[in-house]
Amino acid sequence: MLHSLVEFSYTPTMSEDITQIQIDILDHLRKHPRSYVAKKKLCEKFELTTSKADRAIAELENWGYQLLRSPQGDIRYGASPDVLFPHEITFGLTTKILGINLYSFDRVGSTNVIAHKYAEKDEPEGTVIMAERQTAGKGRLGRSWHSPAKRGIYMSLILRPQITPSQAPGLSLIAALSIAKTMREYPGIKATIKWPNDVLHDGRKLAGVLTELAAEIDRVKYVVMGIGINANHDESDFPPDLRDKAASLKIVSHSTIDRIKFTKLLLVFLEEHYQEFLSRGFKRLIKPIRSYSSVLGKSINFRHDGGSVTGKAIDIDDKGLLVVEIDGKTLSLGSGEISLTENYQA
């Protein structure tokens, strides 16, 4: 299901949003990317008048699509704009659940807040809420997530796993693994997981996960998985106090990231890992999670029983808990904030 007509209003002065007619024309042109298509054939295929076809094509160009024209006036697809349109993400998407139902906004307070509202209205599992900009992006422990326009990938997913609340924390690790795996598909990005929910490159944060759930004592009603990725930020896009703690894929790889392609690949990996988690738990996921870890084998600081504690991170167990050694004894952490003692990790 696509929801671009009402939910996405990127340029308020536009007279029309993208409608199904424009999407049909666009998809037809993209399926024949090397061929010019006569306008007459488009009119016949989609039962349009010439004026209506002209208006639809003009709207696509107004939204930033590049359409090439032959001397005879035939058209073919050229390029898409760097905008997180729902139909861009769902075009060619191979997932069966995640992203099939997708809402995209120009600007919101928080995609997680919207996801909770939609979840309460019984939106199906796999629904994705995205935004070009968040004015009140949510991070863990009450922090905010810096979300400038058209730089990052800010999205929240609605999941309805048949699990107990005690199993839910593992979903943050699954998301972090999926993000890190996607990032490692790009040259020069050495993504690692800082337990339980951050993705780093050389100690600087590239992405974070905020998992929230509505649950009863013995069952999870739904989970909202918020994901924030610093994709195409420049150094100047970060506040001064974050520039030594955060980075972006563009900064690290020295190349602009195609946000649409990245999002599609992430959804594919995330669905694969989520389904594996539901069927077998962490049995097959724990090995790559451990191999991507930036904390295992290192001394860490964390809060415990109201005080600051130092220990050595020695393992991530099959429930996703971080096992820490303190004075010869072990402690398993299910949540909380940790930092390396050698140097500060954002």
61 confidence band (pLDDT: 50, 70, 90) = very high
**pLDDT (0 to 100) of residue 138:** 58
Give per-residue pLDDT as tens, 13-58.
233 456 889 999 999 999 888 899 999 999 999 999 999 999 999 9
Q: Check if the beta carbon of residue 159 is closer than 8 Å to that of residue 171.
A: yes
Q: Which residue has the higher pLDDT, 15 or 301?
A: 301
75 phi and psi, to 5 degrees? -130, 155
Query: What is the C-alpha separation between 288 and 268, in angstroms, rounded?
Result: 17
In whole angstroms, how far apart are CA 277 and each of 170, 289, 291, 344? 9, 12, 17, 31
Place of tokens 């649409």: 260
**DSSP, residue by residue, 103-121:** EEEEEES-HHHHHHHHHHT
Asked whether residue 198 carries a pLDDT value surpassing 60, the answer given is yes
**pLDDT (0 to 100) of residue 20:** 87
- The pTM for the full model equals 0.87
125 confidence band (pLDDT: 50, 70, 90) = very high
Run of H or E residues at 130: strand 128-134
11 Cα distance to chain centroid: 23
Asked whether residue 206 carries a pLDDT value surpassing 60, the answer given is yes
CATH class, 86-291 region:
alpha beta
Asked whether residue 171 carries a pLDDT value surpassing 90, the answer given is yes
Pairing of strands 102-108, 128-134: parallel
The CATH-assigned architecture of domain 295-340 is Roll (2.30)
**pLDDT (0 to 100) of residue 149:** 72
> In the predicted model, what is the mean pLDDT of residues 81-100?
94
CATH class, 2-79 region:
mainly alpha
Task: Tally the residues of the chain.
Answer: 346
Whose CA is closest to 214, among 173, 168, 276, 157? 168
Asked whether residue 302 carries a pLDDT value surpassing 70, the answer given is yes
Q: Which residue has the higher pLDDT, 131 or 149?
A: 131
Q: Check if the beta carbon of residue 139 is closer than 8 Å to that of residue 111.
A: no
Place of tokens 């069952």: 219
Domain boundaries, the chain: 2-79, 86-291, 295-340
Give per-residue pLDDT as tens, 240-291.
888 888 999 999 999 999 999 999 999 999 999 999 999 998 889 999 999 9
Query: What is the C-alpha separation between 303 and 306, in angstroms, rounded?
Result: 6
**What three-state secondary structure class fits 210?**
strand
